[in-house]
């Protein structure tokens, strides 16, 4: 089948009037300020503070489109532009983000950068649908996949180099912290090793968010997000994004989106931008709640294991403290009593929401191995807690009661 040429729309949108003005400040704005100010309409007398939602599939166009000219909404719209500008600024990118219909659409576009038959090195513990897509592409012969412990830098570096029966890796996929095991990668070291081996690096930054980590600053080639999660933050949109400072990669991602049609709706883009305005406050509160809950859970008589990078004895603590500006708002626990106790906790909570997904203002939890597609390395009894912005004492009271009602305490635990 012949290749389908993308619609003739320029790669980048032209700058807005407000974006084009010289910046008199001697230092860049803090991420919390960028989240509030980026992607705004021009500041003119009588002008709106927020961008409008434009509902149009088609734009007036005659002849060869000029730079920045909109032609058809599958290729680009002004409603995407504001969100893309804000996401790009928040990640510290030299280019606007590209929004996609979902996080998986952005992930699929990033994996499409791998040449046919190329080898991908990826975390053994990662978002289950990412692992599922990798397995599907491998079964079709589109690529090869090697799964590694992403926290073991030496093992990852060894997997990247040419093996006797397998070529050098074409792409390294990174999650940090990983979903749901919360392993923390040494991203700068992994980027250096991957580039030395001739591989691209894609980082899924959904868990950390740009408030906690900026992988492009560590040399990553592409960053992807499920905007559905913390960036939009209100469990009311499904959206994804991909970013790259490299012009050629940015163009390839854009062309993939245009040809495959994995595009965002205007309302979703507008809602995500509105949610983004409070991301710094939400992440700050959620992280503080998560750290406090993790501290208490670490000595809870009905909890066998807790993972959160804020804990001084957590395997990822030193690395997270060195490379990140926070510890994230996801906590993983294993209740005493195994899978039955984990299911009992989920059934007993009244404030925590039993649900998949994460990053909303509400706190939620789930037993991840209830999905048959979850990595076999994830314990059957592991509960992933997405900590929200409620009062921490209310969250603790609900979770503590559910844990105590779910099973017997540890033998070594004090009353």
Q: What is the DSSP string of 188-245?
A: HHHHHHHHHTT-EEEEE-TTT-TTT--GGGGT-SEEEEETTTTTT-SS----EEEE-S
Catalytic option among 149, 204, 221, 255? 204
Q: Does the structure show a pLDDT above 80 at 415?
A: no
Mean pLDDT of all residues in 151-169: 89
Peptide bond into 180 cis (omega under 30): yes
Tell me which of 95, 119, 127, 367 is the catalytic residue: 127
Assess whether 274 carries a catalytic annotation: no
What pLDDT score was predicted for residue 413? 54
Q: What is the pLDDT of residue 408?
A: 61
- Confidence band of 23 (pLDDT split at 50, 70, 90): very low
pLDDT digits (tens, 9 = 90+) for 308-349: 999 999 999 999 999 999 999 999 999 999 999 999 999 999
Q: What confidence tier does 243 reach under pLDDT thresholds 50, 70, 90? A: very high
391 as an active site residue: the answer is no
Q: What is the pLDDT of residue 1?
A: 37
**Candidate list 81, 95, 214, 229, residue with the active-site label:** 229
Asked whether the beta carbons of 198 and 168 are under 8 A apart, the reply is yes
pLDDT in tens, 5-21: 444 333 343 333 334 34
Domains recognised in the chain with CATH numbers: 17-276 (3.40.640.10), 279-406 (3.90.1150.10)
- DSSP3 helix / strand / coil % (the chain, rounded to 5): 35, 15, 50
User: Alpha-carbon distance 53 to 80, whole Å?
Assistant: 9
| Strand-strand pairing, 240-243 and 98-100 | antiparallel
| Bond prior to 177 in cis (omega within 30° of 0) | yes
- pLDDT tens digits for range 361-370: 999 999 999 9
What is the per-residue pLDDT for 166?
78
pLDDT reported for residue 119: 97
Kindly report, residue by residue over 164-214, the tens digit of the pLDDT: 677 889 999 999 999 999 999 999 999 999 999 999 999 999 999 999 999
Annotated catalytic residue 127: yes
Q: Cα–chain-centroid distance for residue 142?
A: 24
Annotated catalytic residue within 74, 124, 295, 296: 74
Residue 105, helix vs strand vs coil: helix
Instruction: Specify whether 116 is catalytic.
Output: no
Token couple for 231: 């960036």
Calculate what percentage of the chain has a pLDDT beyond 70.
Answer: 91
């Amino acid at each position: 089948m012949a290749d389908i040429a993308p619609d003739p729309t320029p790669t980048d949108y032209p700058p807005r009037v407000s974006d084009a003005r010289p910046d008199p400040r001697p230092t860049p704005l803090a991420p919390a300020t960028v989240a509030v100010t980026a992607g705004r309409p021009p500041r003119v007398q009588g002008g709106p503070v927020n961008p409008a939602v434009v509902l149009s599939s088609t734009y007036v166009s005659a002849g060869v489109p000029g730079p920045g000219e909109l032609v058809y909404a599958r290729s680009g719209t002004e409603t995407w532009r504001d969100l893309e500008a804000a996401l790009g600024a928040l990640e510290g990118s030299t280019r606007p983000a590209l929004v996609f219909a979902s996080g998986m659409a952005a992930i699929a576009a990033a994996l499409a950068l791998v040449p046919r038959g190329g080898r991908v090195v990826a975390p053994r513990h990662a978002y289950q649908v990412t692992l599922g897509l990798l397995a599907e592409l491998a079964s079709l012969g589109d690529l090869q996949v090697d799964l590694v412990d992403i926290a073991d830098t030496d093992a990852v570096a060894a997997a990247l180099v040419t093996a006797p029966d397998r070529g050098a890796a074409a792409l390294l996929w990174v999650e940090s912290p990983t979903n749901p095991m919360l392993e923390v990668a040494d991203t700068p070291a992994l980027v250096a090793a991957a580039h030395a081996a001739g591989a691209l690096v894609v980082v899924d930054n959904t868990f950390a968010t740009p408030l906690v980590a900026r992988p492009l600053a560590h040399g990553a080639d592409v960053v992807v997000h499920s905007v559905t999660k913390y960036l939009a933050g209100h469990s009311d949109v499904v959206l994804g994004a991909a970013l790259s400072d490299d012009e050629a990669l940015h163009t390839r991602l854009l062309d993939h989106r245009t040809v495959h049609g994995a595009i965002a709706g205007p309302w979703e883009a507008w809602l995500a931008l509105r949610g983004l305005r409070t991301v710094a406050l939400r992440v700050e509160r959620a992280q503080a709640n998560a750290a406090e809950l993790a501290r208490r859970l670490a000595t809870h008589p009905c909890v066998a294991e807790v993972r959160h990078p804020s804990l001084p004895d957590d395997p990822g603590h030193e690395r997270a403290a060195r490379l990140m500006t926070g510890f994230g708002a996801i906590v993983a626990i294993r209740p005493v009593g195994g899978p039955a106790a984990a299911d009992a906790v989920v059934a007993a909570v009244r404030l925590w929401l039993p649900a998949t997904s994460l990053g909303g203002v509400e706190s939620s939890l789930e037993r991840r191995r209830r999905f048959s597609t979850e990595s076999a390395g994830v314990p059957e009894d592991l509960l992933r807690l997405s900590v929200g912005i409620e009062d921490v004492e209310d969250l603790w009271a609900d979770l503590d009661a559910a844990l105590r009602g779910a099973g017997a305490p540890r033998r070594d635990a004090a009353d």
